[in-house]
Amino acid sequence: MNTYGVLGRYIPAFGRVVGRMQYDLFHAYTVDAHTLFVVSNLRRFAIPRYDQELPEASRVMQQLPKSEIAYLAALFHDIAKGRGGDHSELGAVEAEAFCLEQGLSQYDARLVAWLVRNHLALSITSQKQDIGDPQVINAFAHKVGDETHLDYLYVLTCADVRATNPKLWNSWKASLFSDFYQRVKRALRRGLESPIDPEHLVRETQDAARRLLLERGVAERDIAGAWSRFSAGYFLQHSPEEVAWHARLLADRDAASDEPLVALDPRSVRGTTAALIFARPRRHGFARTTAALDQVGLNIVDARITPTGDGFSLDLYHLLEDDGAPITDTDRLAEIEQALWRSLQGPPDAPFVVSRRAPRQARMFSTPTQIAISVDERNRRSVLELTAGDRPGLLCEVGRVLMEERVELQAAKIMTVGERAEDVFHLTDFDNCPLTPQAAERLRDHLVQALDERQAALREPHPAFGAAR
């Protein structure tokens, strides 16, 4: 229908996006081609022989009461691109009008329009916010309202992201979307009037982790000793499998030792390879670690820095290869572990440099650094949202500036959108309080200057090739 122009005649708004290019590195296809790939992905979810590709999305799709609602939302989700304004809002209006013209009920038409209006919500929330935070889960549960809206939104999100660019979909995103979907579904089943209790979540995680540890023969006293180092927030941030892995490593370690601990989990429950560093806090620790990981060609998709009650820091990094796969090769794992050890053992003031160059395509784009800093009063921290040109060494540079401004990093959510990095950092001062307005302004100015200068330097031609003509 699209090849012969029938679809564009039947849905005139679709005809206006046929052949429309999207000039960035995030979208690999024209709007119409991308849209039809989304529809194709939904169709694959509906066919049992493809269940192994994305089991959760397939299960949900096959249980939807009306699959045509998902297909209609897919057709209209990007239909208003190129008009100016919010394409989600404009597309929702088009979608509802079309559905009513075709004889759908008001409920179904409004559901399609709601999906178009909110088609980015699950992806953005799960990648940019802390999905272990009960407040984030409760807020999203209120946004979707019921399990039906959540189910449709989940399958549309998976189909949409998979159809944007073949390099963007990976096991990390699949795990992240599924995890968030399950957390919100549990909240909806509890009822919107019964918000999730953080203490209940902590107990759930501890009980599940304890069962895993006891099955592995770890003694109760060793479990208690490992967990006594951490506050309740630690158990909200990590899965039971992660908590059990950490406790097992700490139980095997000499409690009196000051030596660092480095460990890798090739296939974590989050679809990544997890790298753990347990050590005394180090000057420029985050910058050094990210530089070491970047230099060996890894993508960091998530980082959490957890101070312990006895003066150590448990740092956890979730890693993927450039092709989006976890690291499973034994020699490759050994290379990464050696790189982390070198970053720990270097002199405190040794320079940390990432010599990898940004891909040629990325250097064609210039993304001005944009920073917004807000205060999360409930969690007593500042939240820094960064948009900048993506390139090797970006996180290392951010870490260096944070240390120079005497700012502590709690967590980082790393999101790459084509040539842009859209990262979120949770920060405190050295007294574990949110940044003052003055400190936030200094940090913002310092980061903008440092990152823009670095981007300008990277856009200069490589000396081996001379100036471009």
What's the CATH code of the domain at 149?
Answer: 1.10.3210
Residue 468 forms part of a structural domain: no
Residue 33 forms part of a structural domain: yes
DSSP-based three-state secondary structure for 145: coil
Return the pLDDT at 467. 35
If asked whether residues 31 and 144 sit together in one domain, one would say yes
Final residue belonging to a domain, choices 166, 190, 214: 190
**Residue range of the domain that includes 276:** 258-355
- Which candidate, 344, 355, 447, places its Cα nearest to that of 404? 447
If asked whether residues 123 and 207 sit together in one domain, one would say no
If asked whether residues 158 and 203 sit together in one domain, one would say no
Residue 466 forms part of a structural domain: no
Can you give the pTM of this predicted structure? 0.87
Q: Which of 75-84, 264-273, 361-370 has the lowest mean pLDDT?
A: 361-370
Residue 162 forms part of a structural domain: yes
Question: Which is more confidently placed, 146 or 430?
Answer: 146
Return the pLDDT at 335. 96
Residue 270 forms part of a structural domain: yes
Task: Give, for 129, the enclosing helix (H) or strand (E).
Answer: none
Residue 36 forms part of a structural domain: yes
pLDDT classification of 11: cutoffs 50, 70, 90: confident
Rounded distance, CA 60 to CA 43, Å?
Answer: 12
Phi-psi region of 82 (alpha: psi -120 to 50; beta: other; left: phi over 0): left
Return the pLDDT at 167. 75
Rounded distance, CA 140 to CA 187, Å?
Answer: 9
**Neighbour-count burial for 52-72, b at 16+ CB within 10 Å, e otherwise:** eebebbbebbeebeebebbbb
If asked whether residues 281 and 227 sit together in one domain, one would say no
Residue with tokens 């399950």: 182
If asked whether residues 374 and 434 sit together in one domain, one would say yes
69's tokens: 């609602």
Residue 467 forms part of a structural domain: no
If asked whether residues 351 and 362 sit together in one domain, one would say no
* DSSP for 388-402, written as a single string: EE--TTHHHHHHHHH
If asked whether residues 336 and 368 sit together in one domain, one would say no
Please say whether the beta carbons of 280 and 258 come within 8 A. yes
Structural domain count, the chain: 4
If asked whether residues 216 and 184 sit together in one domain, one would say no
Q: Across-strand partners of 262?
A: 277
Contacts of 193 (CB under 8 A, 6+ apart): none
Residue with tokens 């192994």: 52
If asked whether residues 138 and 109 sit together in one domain, one would say yes
Question: Which is more confidently placed, 348 or 145?
Answer: 145
Return the pLDDT at 116. 98
* pLDDT per position as a tens digit, 324-365: 889 989 999 999 999 999 888 876 665 565 555 555 444 455
If asked whether residues 160 and 285 sit together in one domain, one would say no
Final residue belonging to a domain, choices 137, 166, 190: 190
Query: Region 86-101: what's the mean pLDDT?
Result: 94
Residue with tokens 């290869």: 321
Contacts of 332 (CB under 8 A, 6+ apart): none
Whichever domain contains 425, its CATH number is 3.30.70.260
pLDDT classification of 466: cutoffs 50, 70, 90: very low
If asked whether residues 54 and 166 sit together in one domain, one would say yes
**pLDDT greater than 60 at residue 86:** yes
Final residue belonging to a domain, choices 304, 327, 355: 355
Please say whether the beta carbons of 246 and 276 come within 8 A. yes
Please say whether the beta carbons of 180 and 146 come within 8 A. no
